[in-house]
């Protein structure tokens, strides 16, 4: 699985040390035989429950640079589907990744980990929604074209804004950017008069002074008959006079305001992240319990097969010694033999299943195998694996 800040390999191995060495060799070979010793200091290795916990945290974005971001889950799905299509997964990885995806969805549903905006550009959109409630009929004007202002405009467009005006010092640049938004370009000297038509104004230029002044905004609000305007000043130094906040129905947020909201939202996400960690702890335990049952299945199958072999052998021996046995009597003897076998192994099997998830689960499995001498009798599917 490869993303912008991680490359991870998930694998099921019989021997952890050998398996880890093989993955390191893969990285080394892939990058033109880079010495594995050079790679090792930059790797992290998780196994067993730690590996399960890690993929659950990754899928839920708790391990991302931006907690709560949605992209990682899509990247995990893509990696899993690619592996499936290339027959590079088995029972354990299939179960693990399906569980990781369901855990991530559960966390997004049951916590607020993704609710608060943690980027400056998207925070601007969230604030605009609070001011206007609906954005579908609103118009936005870009004064200047910094990266964050463009991103904020894209977010606004994605949230329903249809009318976008662009004004930059280079008119050709404004025309090009306006095309991207299906909007309208305005000459830089004309933006003050055009601003009357904007409900949201995003300013991001390199000017060392105020471009949008108090008297200018006062006149605009009068022309708009007090319809509100939301100003976003992403410029450093500021390009909008902070005094315009004193005008009724004018709302101004500068870069410091936006970043303080982002920081508050990030802390809120961290709190929700604690709830997510609790969900993950419970789900790791559930997965581990399922995984332990895989260890007991071969023992149960081997025990049943051994008992069945004994039953058949003794049944044939007994019936061969009896003369004039009717089919009905033969059936009764067979039923009795089956009933005896089932009653003998019933209690050991129940105990084995119940203790599988306990700390002594492995001891119970080993004891059963020794008591019934099962290591010399592997189940049929184990014989196939050996072959």
Q: Where in the sequence numbering do the catalytic residues fall?
A: 4
For residue 29, CA distances in Å to 35, 79, 89, 238, 335 come to 9, 21, 22, 52, 61
Helix (H, G, I), strand (E, B) or coil at 39: helix
d(CA 30, CA 25): 8
Structure tokens given for 233: 């000043």
Cα–Cα distance between 151 and 273 in angstroms, integer?
26
Contact assessment for residue 54 and residue 63, using Cβ atoms and an 8 Å cutoff: yes
The CA distance from 67 to 272, in Å, is 10
- Residue 345 and residue 100: Cα distance in Å, rounded? 37
Measure the CA–CA gap between 366 and 250, rounded to whole angstroms.
75
| Distance in angstroms between the alpha carbons of the first and the last residue of the chain | 33
User: Quick one: DSSP state of residue 252?
Assistant: E
Q: Number of H helices and number of E strands within the chain?
A: 14, 6
């Amino acid at each position: 699985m490869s993303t912008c800040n991680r490359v991870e390999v998930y694998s099921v191995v019989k021997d952890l040390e050998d398996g880890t060495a093989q993955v390191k060799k893969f990285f080394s070979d892939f990058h033109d035989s880079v010495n594995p010793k050079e790679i090792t200091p930059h790797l992290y290795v998780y196994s067993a429950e730690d590996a399960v916990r890690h993929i659950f945290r990754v899928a839920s974005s708790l391990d991302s640079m931006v907690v709560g971001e949605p992209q990682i889950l899509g990247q995990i799905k893509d990696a899993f589907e690619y592996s499936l299509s290339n027959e590079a997964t088995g029972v354990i990885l299939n179960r693990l990744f399906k569980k990781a995806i369901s855990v991530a969805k559960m966390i997004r549903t049951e916590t607020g980990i993704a609710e608060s905006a943690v980027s400056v550009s998207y925070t601007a959109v969230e604030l605009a929604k609070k001011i206007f409630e609906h954005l579908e009929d609103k118009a936005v004007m870009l004064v200047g074209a910094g990266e964050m202002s463009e991103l904020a405009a894209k977010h606004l467009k994605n949230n329903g804004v249809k009318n976008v005006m662009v004004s930059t010092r280079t008119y050709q640049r404004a025309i090009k950017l306006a095309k991207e938004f299906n909007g309208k370009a305005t000459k830089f000297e004309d933006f003050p008069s055009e601003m009357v038509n904007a409900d949201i104004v995003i300013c991001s230029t390199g000017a060392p002074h105020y471009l949008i002044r108090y008297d200018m905004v006062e006149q605009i609000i009068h022309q708009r008959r007090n319809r509100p305007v939301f100003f976003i000043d992403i410029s450093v130094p500021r390009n909008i006079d902070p005094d315009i906040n004193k005008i009724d129905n004018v709302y101004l947020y500068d870069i410091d305001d936006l970043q303080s909201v982002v920081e508050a939202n990030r802390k809120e996400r961290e709190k929700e992240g604690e709830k997510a960690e609790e969900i993950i702890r419970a789900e790791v335990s559930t997965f581990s319990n399922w995984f332990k049952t895989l260890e007991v299945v071969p023992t149960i199958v081997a025990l049943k097969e051994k008992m069945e072999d004994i039953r058949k052998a003794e049944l044939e021996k007994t019936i061969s010694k009896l003369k004039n046995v009717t089919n009905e009597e033969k059936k009764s003897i067979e039923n009795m033999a089956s009933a005896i076998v089932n009653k003998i192994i019933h209690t050991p099997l129940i105990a084995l299943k119940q203790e599988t998830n306990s700390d002594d689960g492995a001891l119970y499995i080993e004891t059963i195998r020794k008591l019934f001498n099962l290591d010399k009798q592997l189940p049929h599917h184990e014989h196939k694996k050996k072959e």
